[in-house]
Structure 1
Amino acid sequence: MRQRQRGSRKSGSGEGKDRWMITYADLITLLLIFFVIMYAMSRLDTEKYKSVTESLQFSFHNSSGGKSVLEGNPGLTGSDIPNATDHPAASPAPSASPAPGGADSGDKAASGDPPLTERELAFRQQEEQLANLMKMIKQYVQENHLDNQIFVADKPQGIAITLSDQFLFDTGKAALKPGSGKTLSKLGSLFSNLDTKISIEGHTDNQPIVHSSQYKDNWELSGARALSVLRYFIDTMHLDANNFQYAGYADTHPAADNSTAAGRQKNRRVEITVLRQLQQ
């Protein structure tokens, strides 16, 4: 019995000694996989690398206007890289004809950028129209010496044309002065060529309405003044009413300090804003 027990102990101890080989084999396998992966990641796509380096060489050559800074320099690409002047891309590209959308589309096509979308083209056309409108209004104001009565500004919401109440109305009234028709007709002729919304806003100072006025308060007066300007464009100029909107804000949107006479004068105004329909 004792001999059998000794034999079984010897065979068990032999199996325990061989178990380290399993762990060792696993470790060797993992190391082999690791180095295979590292080797695969270290390999470069030589064709893409060559294309990138030649493109960089050509760009540096064109930007410097003379010899390429990469020519003959083995530090980046080696001595076997051809000169930029020998590459077919170095020859000047033919000038692209302008695209129907304008010079910007042609420039993008020539530079390899995607062409402008319809929205981008519409936005640029809108900005060009607004810039021309502002230029013409400023020219009209200067030629007619109306610098103290009409102010033009390019605001985020659109081109804002501010008309002083002294230019348009008598004190406390909303009927247009006869002399204001010439300027409103000029503005109306410019608006007729635009396909956009035009907002007309009436503003007053914070002084209460006198009892002799037909309007209850500044809300009614500011709204009536904006409506008078709107009626001129629609009834007299026969412009499309769908392109207009109006509102009266009383003294809630002051442009200056109401504590001074000069500030109150600036606040009594009508603002005509040619709205931007598209935002970039």
Structure 2
Amino acid sequence: MKKRKGGSGGASWMDTYGDMVTLLLCFFVLLYSMSSIDQQKWVQLVQSFNPDAVHEATEMKGNAGQLADPTGGPDGGSGQQTQEEIDTTIEQLFIDLQTYVAQQGAAENISVTKGDGYVFISFNDAVFFDGDSYVLRTDGEEILNEVGTIIGKARSSIDELRILGHTAQGDPSKPNNPTVDRFLASDRATVVLVYLQELNILDPARMISMGYGQFRPVADNASSEGRAKNRRVELIVTGLDVTSTLGDGIEQYYTERGTESPVSAETRTGTAAIG
């Protein structure tokens, strides 16, 4: 009987198959390295397998430096806004504030103006404080309730809300005591900021108080009317600029100090906006 020849034919096709699989693996790895993952789609995929999965929003650089997160704008809006949408919101804020002042007949004590990307609101001392005082008056609280609610409607488009405190020079021939002057101006601005912050109209990280003292008058201190105009608190509402390569006000602060923000917008606010 003829002896069957031995051989390793099986091993030959296994070698070829192994080489092909290796090449396919390299091909797909190459494709993957050239691709980018859509974060939002990835989250949807994960949640489709596990509906209870919790996605923690992370801040990332995007849109020419503007802070963004998967939930939307800086205060958790429905999506990234265009500059045109932001400008429209700031314009509407200006109109709403003007309407409020006209309805209240308060044009003598409250003025509202608009510049390029910001709204400027000025209150003289009769609105919020008595002379030489930083205790907020009851009628001043009522005005802040209304003005704060109007500002809160535009929160998703606001970069910063700055509160400026001023004093008048009591004796036109003699400057105020620097310590008293500076603290009074700063205290007035801070009292207004704290009241607005407790209304929860805006991310507190976007609210800033500043005291200018007597050094930026808008009227002559020689008359009581002029001093009343100089003893004032002002609000400057600045809209976001998504075209800025420096980012928004919060991002610029951390850039200037050479670090990144350790917390997200949600962590800073902790509570929802007013209705």
TM-score using structure 1 length = 0.51
What residue number does 2:7 align with? none
Contact in 2 for aligned 1:133/1:190 (Cα 8 Å): yes
Query: Where in structure 2 are the equivalents of 1:186-205 lying within 5 Å?
Result: 186-193=146-153, 194-195=155-156, 196=158, 197-205=160-168
Query: The residue matched to 1:253 in structure 2 has which SS?
Result: coil
Rounded to whole Å, the distance in 2 between the matches of 1:238 and 1:157 is 19
Query: The residue matched to 1:202 in structure 2 has which SS?
Result: strand
CA 1:207–1:144: 2 relative to 1, 3 Å: same
Q: Report sequence identity in percent.
A: 25
Rounded to whole Å, the distance in 2 between the matches of 1:278 and 1:260 is 41
Q: CA deviation at 1:279?
A: 8.4
What residue number does 2:108 align with? 148
Indicate which of 220, 223, 230 corresponds to 1:257. 220
Rounded to whole Å, the distance in 2 between the matches of 1:141 and 1:219 is 29
What residue number does 1:240 align with? 203
Indicate which of 183, 194, 200 corresponds to 1:220. 183
Is the strand fraction higher in 1 or 2?
2
2:86 is aligned with 1:126: yes
Q: CA deviation at 1:236?
A: 4.3
What residue number does 1:22 align with? none
CA 1:136–1:267: 2 relative to 1, 3 Å: same
Q: CA deviation at 1:234?
A: 1.4
CA 1:157–1:123: 2 relative to 1, 3 Å: closer
Query: The residue matched to 1:130 in structure 2 has which SS?
Result: helix
Query: The residue matched to 2:213 in structure 1 has which SS?
Result: coil
CA 1:157–1:126: 2 relative to 1, 3 Å: closer
Contact in 1 for aligned 2:83/2:241 (Cα 8 Å): yes
Contact in 2 for aligned 1:188/1:239 (Cα 8 Å): no
Contact in 1 for aligned 2:134/2:191 (Cα 8 Å): yes
Contact in 2 for aligned 1:220/1:248 (Cα 8 Å): yes
The amino acid that maps onto 2:104 is N
Indicate which of 131, 136, 145 corresponds to 2:96. 136
TM-score using structure 2 length = 0.52
Query: Where in structure 2 are the equivalents of 1:153-168 lying within 5 Å?
Result: 153-156=113-116, 158-168=118-128
Rounded to whole Å, the distance in 2 between the matches of 1:172 and 1:224 is 11
**Which has the larger Rg?**
1
Indicate which of 165, 175, 192 corresponds to 2:135. 175
CA 1:159–1:238: 2 relative to 1, 3 Å: closer
The amino acid that maps onto 1:170 is D
Contact in 1 for aligned 2:87/2:117 (Cα 8 Å): no
Contact in 1 for aligned 2:161/2:208 (Cα 8 Å): yes
| Structure 2 unmatched runs, 5+ | 1-62, 65-80, 172-177, 244-275
Query: The residue matched to 1:124 in structure 2 has which SS?
Result: helix
| Structure 1 unmatched runs, 5+ | 1-117, 209-214
Rounded to whole Å, the distance in 1 between the matches of 2:83 and 2:202 is 24
Superposition RMSD on alpha carbons, in Å? 2.6
Length, aligned pairs only: 158
C-alpha distance after superposition, 1:102-150 (max 9, x if no partner): xxxxxxxxxxxxxxxx78x732222211110111111111111111111
Rounded to whole Å, the distance in 2 between the matches of 1:198 and 1:158 is 10
Contact in 2 for aligned 1:185/1:237 (Cα 8 Å): no
